[in-house]
Structures are given as C-alpha cells and as structure tokens.
Structure 1
Amino acid sequence: MKKYFWILIVLILLVPNMAHAAPIENKVKVAFYRDGFVWLKMNGKETRITKEPSEHSYQPQWSHDGKWILYQIEPRKKPNSNADSHSEIWIYNVDTKKHIRITNDGTNPKWSPVENIVAFKNGWVLNVSNLEHFYNIALGVGDYNWYPDGRSFITASSASLRPDGWTNPILFKIGLEKDLAKMTSFTKNVKQLFTIPNELKKGNVNMVASHPWDFHFSSDGYWVSFIVSPPTASWAMDSNMVCVIGADGQNFAVLDETINEGNSPKWAYSQNLLGYIAGGGRIVLGFKNKDMKITEMPVFKSTTLTPAHFAEMGFTWKDDNSLYVSRVKETDWSNEAKKRPDPSLFMIKIKEQTQSQITHPPKDFGDYQPQFIPEANKLTWLRKRDIADFHKQDLWISDSNGQNEKLWIKNIQTYDFFAEKK
C-alpha cells in the first residue's frame, strides 16, 4: 500500500512540471504563408488551412483575441480569360475551422485593435465589415490605420499634380457610428487634421510630399508616426521622410530621411520613443548610410545608435531600453549574391551604451528581420542566403540573449504572431 502511495505522490509532483516543461514557443500561434498556401502553427503543430495555392500581397493578421486569422488571396486561376486580377479577403476561425470571405475585391485589410471588425479598401473607398456585412465609410482614402480605441481612423489624401504645381497631401480623422448601419454620409464623420506642406526638407534633402502612409500610434495614443513618399515609385526607392504628429493634428515634424525597404518606424512599448532606420539611397547603391536612430517625444531629441562603418538592415524593440538590429559592415553592392555582406543580430542597450553581437549565422547565411515576442520573452528572425531571397528563408527562435537558438519554421514567407498577454 505504501508503494502505491509514493507512486501517486511522484505523479502529482511530476505532472505540473511536465506541463511547465513544454516549450514556451508552443504557446505562441503563428499564421504564415508557404508555397502559396496559408498555414497555422499552434501547439507545436503545423497545419495547412487553405486548399488552393494563390498569390498574397498582405501578410496574414491575427484578430485582437487570437480567434481569427485574416488573410488575402489573389487566385491564380481567373474566373474567365477576360477577368481582371482581384484580391479576395478572407477570415478563418481557429476553433471552428470555418472560412468566411469578407469581400471578393479588396486591399489593405486591417483588424480593429479592440473588436472583431475588419477595415479594407476597394479602390479609394474605405469599408468596414462586422464579419456579416460590410459598409462604405469614406471616399478618396489613401493609406489608413485605426485609432487605438477602434472608433475612428487616421487617413490621408495624396497630392495631385495641377498646371500650377502639386497640391498638398492632407491628413483626416474619420469616425465610426456605434451602429455601422447608420453610416449614411461619407462626409459627416470626417475631420481634417492637418495639411502637410507640399515640400518637405531635412538637412540638405528636399522632397515633394505626395503620399502619406504607414501610420502607427505611440503606446499612449498621443503621437502618430508615418512616412511621406514622393510622387514616383523610383524616387521613393531612394528617399522618403519619417514624420510624426500629435493624434489631435498638432505638433507636426519631419524627423529624417529613410528608404522604403519594409522597415517601418516602431514605437517603444511604453515610452514615447520612436525607432527608425535613417538614411537615403536604395540598397543596390550600397550597404551604407543606414543608421539606427531613436527620437524622444515631445522634445524631439534624436540619437544615432549605429557605430561608424556599419549599416542596419532591420530592427525591433526588446524593451524601452534595448533593441535588436540586423547589422552588416558597410560595403558596396555586388551583383553576385555571395559577395554581398551577411548580417548578424546585435543587441543595443541604450542607457548602458553597450552593443553586442548575439547571433553568428553560418557562412553564406544572414539573419534578417528580428522580431521580439515579449509575451514569451523570445527573439525571432529570418535566416537566409541573400537579402533578395524571399522564398527560401527559415524562421529561427532563441532566448532573449540569443542563446539556445533553433530552427522554428522552415520555408516561410510573411507571417504574424499571436501570444496571450502575461
């Protein structure tokens, strides 16, 4: 009898420890694209959730509660030979495994930050869907984002060229009725926030202001960062301006020049610190003039964190005092992939003024796009052979100090994480 008693005690002690021993990354859900399909990784298991391959212009997105995945597809098979390409927006319920098509022709979809409502555009029309019906909200909308309360949007109209020169881009705030069915006017809930000068200047760089986009709110909701691009795509490859403004339309400022390489400015978690990679000139002109900077609001004090003779390829915040960067030594561009520099990840501690290399990829591989998951205290990044290779890349994960690194998801394209708040 005593023998069975002690066996029972051991089992009681072991079971909680065994549960606790499950890898922390298993508590993080990942939605991602691979080979034209949408995939889900959850509880350590990968599952393909779409049946037909397609093209994807926007990364998958988790709803605020982690119950839905939003994804966009451009079917490879057209309904008929005369049909134009179109972009369908779908959502997938993780529990019921049910797919719902929000629209058969939409772009730039974004979940509300507080409820299961999806905004998207069709042409220049902003729409909102409650997952059952969608409603037209406003006309003439460029890029946009939700305000943190989920009751309104910040958006912009782009500049246009007239015989007397370029008009000004304008920022707007668009409110929502509590009952979406009562949205009967396209202009009633629209408020003009700010008219952007038609020419922006920083240092010796001048730029015609045309397209405001990539809006992000600070943690307290008071500040908004965004990028203003020039009129042509070629010009925008070399020069854009990082800007900030108060969410009420006050205190507009141009911070720095940047390029459009998928590295959005990012706010710190709880302080009004904006991080961004400053410097003009597309990458094919050389791995140089790409500096990690932070700017503190409302004093607009900027600090450069990149040491001389290095360039940054991407970054993410760890906490309010530290960041991770994907860094290379400054060098010229080469048309031969093997002669291009391969980045490693470095941790920067701002107050301590220390910087240390924390990943050491194997020869001919580089570590790109660091992304920290604070809920799991884990660092992730893409490891691949070349900066231009978007289809042969793997997602890696490690402890916050770069230790215990391992391959997490093989052959991944764009992706999004969801982790429960601590």
Structure 2
Amino acid sequence: MLFRVLLLFMLNCLLFSTIASAEVPLTAAFIRDHQLWIKTGDQEYQLTKGRFFHSPKWSHDGRFIAYVDGNMKEKSNLFIYDRKEKENYKPYVTIETTDFKWSPISNQLAYTSGGVLNVTKFKDGRPHGFENVSLGVSAFEWFPNGKEFIVSSQANLLPTGWGPVQIFRIPKDANLDNKKMMPFYTIDTKIPDLFAIYVDYFKWSYDGKWVSFIAVPTASWAMDSNTLGVLSKQGTQFQTVGKMLSYEDWVKWSPSANQLAYISGEGRFFVENKNTTIKDMPVSNQQKEYTPKGYVDLDLEWFSSSKIIVARAKENKDWEEGPVPTMFTSLYMIDIKNKDQNQITFPTNREIDEDPQVIGSYLTWIRKRDEESKGNVWVKEGLNGTDHIWIRNVDSAPVFFSNN
C-alpha cells in the first residue's frame, strides 16, 4: 500500500512538472546582470559580455535588436545585434543616444543625439551609417506609415514666461531642409490648466487616427503632475485628457478601439490617488475610473478590447513621513463591459507582481521580493491558465517580439 502511495505521488509530481515547464511559444530580449540575452521557447542565449547594457528594442521583422551601452554616469552608445549573422555591431563609429525607435514598417532605426534627429542608412541589408533629419528635437515618434515623424521641440523661456511647445510633422528624408518642417500643432501654456515646456511619449491609437502624449512642465512640478493630451492625426483636434505622473507604461491604447487607458492622479508618491481611467475618443469629457476606493493601481495593460490587467495594491494614507512604504501589488483583471474585477495573481508575503504584458493569448509579469532589484518573469496562458516562472533573475521587464 505504501508503495502505491509513493508511486502515485511521484506520478503526480512528474505530471505537474511537465505542465509547469511546458514550452512557452514566446521570444523575448531581456537584461540579466547588465548583459543582453534572448529567450525563445525554453532556450536562452547570452548575446553580450562585459560593460553595462540596457534598453533593448526589436526591429520590425525581429532580425535586429538595438540596445545601448553605458550606465547613468556614462555616455550611452548605440549597438545593434544581428540575429541572422549572430553579431553585435555599431551602426556607426559612435552614436550617443538614449532615445531610439525602429520604423513600424522596415528595419530602419531613428534616434536623437544632442537634439538632432537622425535615421540610419543601410549597408548589406543592415542599418549602417546615418542621415540628419531635423535639429531642435526634444522627442519624436514615427508616423504609422513609416515615412514621417511627429516631432516636438522644447519651449523657450522668454522674459514674459515660457513660450509654446511646437509639434511638427517631418518626412524622414527632410535632411535638415527647413521647407520640409511642417508645423503640426502648437500647445500654448496656460497655468495651472496646462503648463508644459516639452511633450514626450507619443503613442498612436490602433488605427492611427489619434496620438497621445504626456505634456511635461518644469522638473519640480513634473514630479507631481503632468498632463496627458491627445491629438488627431491631422493635427486639428486637441484634447487634454487628465493629470498623471510621467510614466510611459501608464498610458495604453486599446488594441481594437479608440479607447485610451491611463493611470490618473497627482502626487509623486504611490500611496494614494492612482486610478485606472479610460477615455473614449473622440467624445469629449467622457471618462470613467475603475479603481475601487481604498486601492491604487500602479501599472496597466490591455488583455483584450474589454479586459484590462492592472497591478493593484491597498492604499496607505497613514504614511506621512520617513521612508516611502513599498506598495505590494498583485494583478487584477477589470472587465470594462460588465464591471467585474477579480484578482488573478497571488504573490506570497513580501512579494510584488508588476509590469504586466500581454503577447497574443499569454500574460506575463515580473515577480520580485521586497527590496530586491531582480525578479523572475512569470507567464500564464489566458486568464485561467497555470502560472509558472519562464525567465529567472532579470534586471527589468523583458521586451517581446511579436509578428502581430
């Protein structure tokens, strides 16, 4: 009898292990110990050694990964990894940048360096060399057509105060030609309703009809409050959406509708007043908050057109001074149609679930312990699948490549 019990126990353990370690059909670039890695399915590959690498980004077709080398105290030099040739290389002798983006339609890379927007040329089918596009650029994003950029320029400080923030539409082949720099929209500062000296984090809606961005004021003010804005693709309709902190991942367009989800609320500390909010476009002033009283949402991701995943914790209004308390977030699902909300991950004591990402039918997130900088990447298929660790000991959330 004892033998049968032990055999049954071993078979159950084997079955559970097989399920928990089932291959995940995903491909991700990630940073571990400051080095660039790739994981495809259940295979990991280290791509760099030495130095301090970060911020990987996939090219349009997944052949290339751009990343930068250098910590916060050093200059950030641009590198590219070629998956076909299995080689790291520099697209030019020296490119110093922290803001670089791949074209949505090709393997062309754009970046800013010293306020100059540039695009890479090609050599033997690889990004190599560069051409100047525009001067005076503070932030940029490709238009969905891959032929133009939306570009912002920082406001000037005048004797009468800060001037307006200018937004331009510029073809990628502008080559510093002033005649090709087309004014797109001008944001006039209006204290306290809308005060900004630059805008950043351009994001296009799923159909390319709207672009969102965060309007950022002076540094001390920006720590507590920034303005989320939305502009039509023709540059004719502009709306301020709400106040929020300047976190790029706190703004996400629906995958199939002109709905913008963001985490609203002022105040630099995460202990209160951080609410998941949805804005319908182009209906003016139609917004709804989904965070229940007594809680804060500190990250979000669309799972589908009707479901949103948020990283949620109990608020802490009792804290007033001293070390800022850790907010122990778990993932929750919000159904915006029937208003149901359910907890879907259950970290143990002193653990934090954060950085939710949805790739196809899979949900991934980072789980780490309090006061630890590294974490593990967890994954589950759908909202009801079995969750398990997919990548261990990552420095930050992975960046996934998807053919969609």
- Give the TM-score normalised by structure 2: 0.88
Native 8 Å contact 1:263 1:277 kept in 2: no
Structure 1, unaligned runs of 5 or more: 1-20, 77-83, 178-182
* Separation (CA, whole Å) in 2 of partners of 1:294 and 1:263: 15
- The structural deviation recorded for 1:262 is 4.6
The equivalent of 1:273 in structure 2 is 259
- State the secondary structure of the residue aligned to 2:206: coil
The equivalent of 1:112 in structure 2 is 103
* Separation (CA, whole Å) in 2 of partners of 1:94 and 1:184: 30
The equivalent of 2:228 in structure 1 is 242
* Separation (CA, whole Å) in 2 of partners of 1:22 and 1:405: 10
Give, as a single letter, the amino acid of the residue that structure 2 aligns with 1:403.
G
The equivalent of 2:268 in structure 1 is 282
- The structural deviation recorded for 1:107 is 2.8
* Separation (CA, whole Å) in 1 of partners of 2:21 and 2:328: 33
Instruction: Among all aligned residue pairs of Structure 1 and Structure 2, give the percentage whose two residues are the same amino acid.
Output: 35
- The structural deviation recorded for 1:207 is 4.7
Native 8 Å contact 1:200 1:254 kept in 2: no
Identify the match of residue 36 of structure 2 among 32, 35, 38. 38
Q: How many residues matched?
A: 374
- State the secondary structure of the residue aligned to 1:188: helix
Native 8 Å contact 1:54 1:74 kept in 2: yes
Give, as a single letter, the amino acid of the residue that structure 2 aligns with 1:115.
S
* Separation (CA, whole Å) in 1 of partners of 2:348 and 2:21: 28
Identify the match of residue 80 of structure 2 among 91, 103, 120. 91
* Separation (CA, whole Å) in 1 of partners of 2:348 and 2:384: 15
* Separation (CA, whole Å) in 1 of partners of 2:266 and 2:104: 32
* Separation (CA, whole Å) in 2 of partners of 1:136 and 1:102: 14
Q: Deviations over 1:126-166 (max 9, x none)?
A: 00003122001000001110001100001111112121211
**Residue 129 (structure 2) pairs with residue 133 (structure 1):** yes
Give, as a single letter, the amino acid of the residue that structure 1 aligns with 2:80.
I
Native 8 Å contact 2:131 2:175 kept in 1: no
* Separation (CA, whole Å) in 1 of partners of 2:363 and 2:98: 30
* Separation (CA, whole Å) in 2 of partners of 1:327 and 1:401: 16
The equivalent of 1:81 in structure 2 is none
**Residue 313 (structure 2) pairs with residue 328 (structure 1):** yes
The correspondence of residues 55-74 of structure 1 with structure 2, limited to 5 A, is 55-56=53-54, 59-74=55-70
* Separation (CA, whole Å) in 2 of partners of 1:64 and 1:55: 21
Q: Deviations over 1:156-192 (max 9, x none)?
A: 1111212121110011111123xxxxx5443232110
The correspondence of residues 14-413 of structure 1 with structure 2, limited to 5 A, is 23=22, 25=24, 27-56=25-54, 59-74=55-70, 85-103=74-92, 104=94, 105-130=96-121, 131-177=127-173, 183-199=174-190, 206-232=193-219, 234-283=220-269, 286-300=270-284, 301-332=286-317, 333=319, 335=322, 340-374=326-360, 377-386=361-370, 389=372, 391-413=373-395
The equivalent of 2:8 in structure 1 is none
- The structural deviation recorded for 1:55 is 4.8
The equivalent of 2:401 in structure 1 is 418
Q: Deviations over 1:16-55 (max 9, x none)?
A: xxxxx99452x21111111111111123111110122215
Structure 2, unaligned runs of 5 or more: 1-19, 122-126
How has the CA–CA distance of structure 1 residues 276 and 106 changed in structure 2, closer, same or farther, with 3 Å as cutoff?
same
Q: Deviations over 1:238-296 (max 9, x none)?
A: 1001100101111111110001245331100111000000001012xx51100101101
* Separation (CA, whole Å) in 2 of partners of 1:216 and 1:184: 24
* Separation (CA, whole Å) in 2 of partners of 1:85 and 1:384: 28
- Give the TM-score normalised by structure 1: 0.84
- The structural deviation recorded for 1:385 is 2.2
Give, as a single letter, the amino acid of the residue that structure 2 aligns with 1:303.
K
